[in-house]
Amino acid sequence: MYLFQVNDPRQSASLVAKIFNLVVDILEKVASALGLTYNEINIILYYFIIPLSWTLLLDRFLGKPITTLILIGAWAVLLVCKRREFRDWCDWAFDRSVDFLKWFNHLGGNYELNSVVICVIIPIVIYAGLIILQRFR
């Protein structure tokens, strides 16, 4: 059972499907505009851009670019090692991400619900926490 639930399961499923499909549509359009595959834009967004924005917010709070430099360093190493195979690596990472999301099915969810909770709701909560943290600086 998930925290995010509506009394009528059809409404919940419909809302989850709408959010899931909206995210997929946006990522497909961005990928197409940039000449990337869906898997590439998905991995770039969820493995680099979102974590980078979190590290920037955290480092702003810390007053030092510690976590941002670590993330950028890790990505630099990855890109140097995998630059010729980046698309293949993104396909592999995307498949592992799908496996991870499907792992949560045993809790009563499905791929769409797990994706919305882990890839939309949790990041929003993390952003909220990091933004609130800025107020204590």
**Residue 59 vs residue 8, higher pLDDT:** 59
Task: List the end-to-end C-alpha distance of the chain, in Å, as a whole number.
Answer: 37
| pLDDT for res 13 | 64
| Residue 11 burial (C-beta neighbours within 10 Å; 0-12, 13-18, 19+) | exposed
Q: Model confidence over 35-69: pLDDT tens digits?
A: 999 999 999 999 999 999 999 998 888 888 888 88
- The ranges assigned to domains in the chain are 9-134
Indicate the range of 31-45, 65-79, 119-133 predicted with least confidence. Answer: 65-79
Structure confidence at residue 80 as a pLDDT band (50, 70, 90): confident
pTM over 0.95: no
